[in-house]
Amino acid sequence: MKICYPEPKNIPQLMELSKSFADETFWASHIPIGQMVDTETARDRLFGSEVVNVQIAENEKGQLVGYVGVYSEIVDGEMVYFASLLVAVEYRHKGVGKRLVEQVFQNLPAGIKVEAWVGDFNRASLEATPKMGFTLARTMNLEIAGKEATIYIFERKS
Ligand SMILES: CC(C)(COP(=O)(O)OP(=O)(O)OC[C@H]1O[C@@H](n2cnc3c(N)ncnc32)[C@H](O)[C@@H]1OP(=O)(O)O)[C@@H](O)C(=O)NCCC(=O)NCCS
């Protein structure tokens, strides 16, 4: 397994990964990692202007099996940083997510605070995110897939 920067050939692979994830469960297509299903969105997630750093996991056949991105966005006049993480279902629980997160943090400017938003319906990520160096900062309520959800907002400093 190789962790590296993405190349243009990874755009359709990221779309496939996102499509498979979107079919996993009822809420998956309602969050950003389940919506990278068209070329423009996938290209933006890998190479767009909001990218601070992106790393991908590639198997021995050169297929993309995991992805992490940190993005900047201006919210209420302030720069906010968000992390996005997705590992192919057959590669989970093997340390790929953790390696991706470590690699992306090694390549961020020092001293930025990165948020990870996790819904209460996402049990795997609620368990995994604190094990990847994030700590719970606050919660908020949102409607996702027509249901009221509690969103756990984790933070990690670079
Ligand atoms: C969340 C996700 C990225 C984790 O990736 P992963 O490659 O399976 O994670 P790792 O194997 O690196 O595990 C990291 C830690 O989390 C724990 N963990 C991972 N999945 C877990 C689960 N389902 N239940 C409990 N613990 C879990 C691991 O045991 C490990 O802990 P350790 O360091 O104490 O051994 C992966 O499940 C995924 O892609 N889920 C779907 C997409 C998603 O929900 N992304 C986050 C959106 S907010």
Given the CA of residue 119, which atom of ligand 1 is nearest to it?
A: 48
Q: Higher model confidence: residue 144 or residue 22?
A: 22
**Measuring from atom 37 of ligand 1, which residue has the nearest CA?**
124
Look up residue 5 and give its two tokens: 């920067």
Phi and psi torsions of 144, nearest 5°: -130, 130
**Binding site membership of 18 for ligand 1 (Cβ less than 6 Å):** no
Tens digit of each residue's pLDDT (9 = 90 or more) over 47-75:
999 999 999 999 999 999 999 999 999 99
Q: How many residues does the chain have?
A: 158
Give the pTM. 0.96
CA distance 142 to 57: 31
For tokens 């767009």, what's the residue?
48
Measure Cα distances from 32 to 90, 107, 111 in Å: 21, 22, 25
Share of the chain above pLDDT 90, in %: 97
Phi and psi torsions of 13, nearest 5°: -70, -40
Buried b / exposed e over 50-75, threshold 16 CB at 10 Å, is eebbbbbbbeeeeebbbbbbbbeeee
Look up the CATH number of the domain holding residue 141.
3.40.630.30
The best mutation among 21, 101, 131, 139 to test binding of ligand 1, ranked by most ligand atoms within 8 Å of the C-beta, falls on: 131
Residue 98's domain comprises 2-157
Look up residue 146 and give its two tokens: 């027509």
Domain count, the chain: 1
